[in-house]
Amino acid sequence: MSLILTDQNNNAFYTFPGDFDLHTWNDRDFSSRSKILDRFGIHGGTEVSDRGIKPRKVRVQGAYHAASQAALKTFLDDLTKALHNNGNPYRFSWESGYYINVSHVSRFRSKRFKQGLAYKSVEIDIELECPDPFWYSTSDDSPGAVSITASPQSIVFTNNGNVPSPLRIQCDPTAAWADFTIKNETDSDNLCRYTDPLLGDGDQLIIDAKDGTVERNSENTIRYFSGAFLRVLPGDNTIVYTGPTGGTITLSAPRRFL
């Protein structure tokens, strides 16, 4: 197991030493938002929460045994510098290809202890604050570019994660696409509509549910958008396009896990 810190482009800037003695760590603990209102005049209550996942904390505990006091100081200096990362958010990874987004370190504790006659060892306790509570794969899910030759046309999208994921829709028309809808039949027929008289051959439209943005050729065109930003549920989803033909649609979504 390698504990690695990377920037938001997955470039590693710190790797825990191979001889770091990992004692315990928690990566799967989570809790959901919940609020119960008492029911007036009768027993019990009513839940009014959305059952969303609360921000997560990832805790790492271990020890490091250095060859000298100077080597121990270098280890601590490098580690604390990396954990702070100049106040910038970063990613924490323990398995190749997977990471969690870290906003900051909520706690860092170190306790030096003797190894032989000198204080050359240290116990480490790190708690990482993760407002985005999901683990991500570095690879998104996508069926690739699909040619639109019929209306309506169905596209099967497989979400290989274990939680719903926001859908990114990229449209590359080769004809006028002035009015079309896209819905996810698997997710209660949630639907979005786009009515843009200028969208046509050579343009590119991106509807990004993760960021809540709609852009034609990098220009904000959310005024032509109505309905819901779509998501994909774990497993197979049936996405249905209805509108003009000619061109391609590329669907993608981050693969994420609790």
The predicted pLDDT at position 95 comes to 79
Judgement on whether residues 112 and 204 belong to the same structural domain of the protein: no
The predicted pLDDT at position 117 comes to 54
Judgement on whether residues 92 and 204 belong to the same structural domain of the protein: no
Per the model's pLDDT, the better-predicted residue between 156 and 45 turns out to be 156
Cis peptide before 173 (omega within 30 of 0): no
Judgement on whether residues 40 and 51 belong to the same structural domain of the protein: yes
Judgement on whether residues 168 and 93 belong to the same structural domain of the protein: no
Sheet containing strand 12-15, strands side by side: 12-15, 4-6, 90-93, 98-102, 135-137, 256-257
The CATH number that applies at residue 101 is 2.40.30.200
Range with lowest mean pLDDT among 92-96, 230-234, 249-253: 92-96
Judgement on whether residues 108 and 217 belong to the same structural domain of the protein: no
Average per-residue pLDDT for the chain: 93
Q: Of 136, 156, 171, which residue is a domain's last? A: 136
The predicted pLDDT at position 39 comes to 83
Give the mean model confidence (pLDDT) for residues 174-181.
97
Q: Of 136, 159, 190, which residue is a domain's last? A: 136
Give the mean model confidence (pLDDT) for residues 214-236.
98
- What's the rounded Cα separation, in Å, for the pair 57 and 130? 6
User: 103: domain range?
Assistant: 4-136
DSSP per-residue string spanning the chain:
---EEE-TTS-EEEE--TT-EEEEEESS---B---EEEPTTSSSEEE----PBPPEEEEEEEEEE-SSHHHHHHHHHHHHHHHHGGG--EEEESSTTEEEEE-EEEEEEEEEEEETTEEEEEEEEEEEEESS--EEESS-EEEEEEE--SSSEEEEEEE-SSS-EE-EEEEEESS---SEEEEETTTTTEEEEE--TT--TT--EEEETTTTEEEETTEE-GGGEEE---EE-SEEEEEEEES--SEEEEEEE--EE-
Res 194 pLDDT > 90? yes
- What's the rounded Cα separation, in Å, for the pair 41 and 94? 52
Give the mean model confidence (pLDDT) for residues 175-194.
97
The CATH number that applies at residue 160 is 2.60.120.860
Q: Of 119, 136, 153, which residue is a domain's last? A: 136
Judgement on whether residues 114 and 170 belong to the same structural domain of the protein: no
Judgement on whether residues 132 and 106 belong to the same structural domain of the protein: yes
Judgement on whether residues 172 and 127 belong to the same structural domain of the protein: no
Judgement on whether residues 40 and 122 belong to the same structural domain of the protein: yes
Judgement on whether residues 207 and 253 belong to the same structural domain of the protein: yes
Res 181 pLDDT > 90? yes
As for how many domains the chain has, the answer is: 2
pLDDT exceeding 70 applies to what percent of the chain?
98
Judgement on whether residues 226 and 239 belong to the same structural domain of the protein: yes
Judgement on whether residues 107 and 66 belong to the same structural domain of the protein: yes
- Contact between 183 and 191 (Cβ < 8 Å): yes
- pLDDT digits over 86-112, tens only? 999 999 998 788 999 999 999 999 998
Beta bridge partner(s), residue 45: 38
The distance from CA 178 to its chain's CA centroid, rounded to whole angstroms, is 32
The distance from CA 160 to its chain's CA centroid, rounded to whole angstroms, is 13
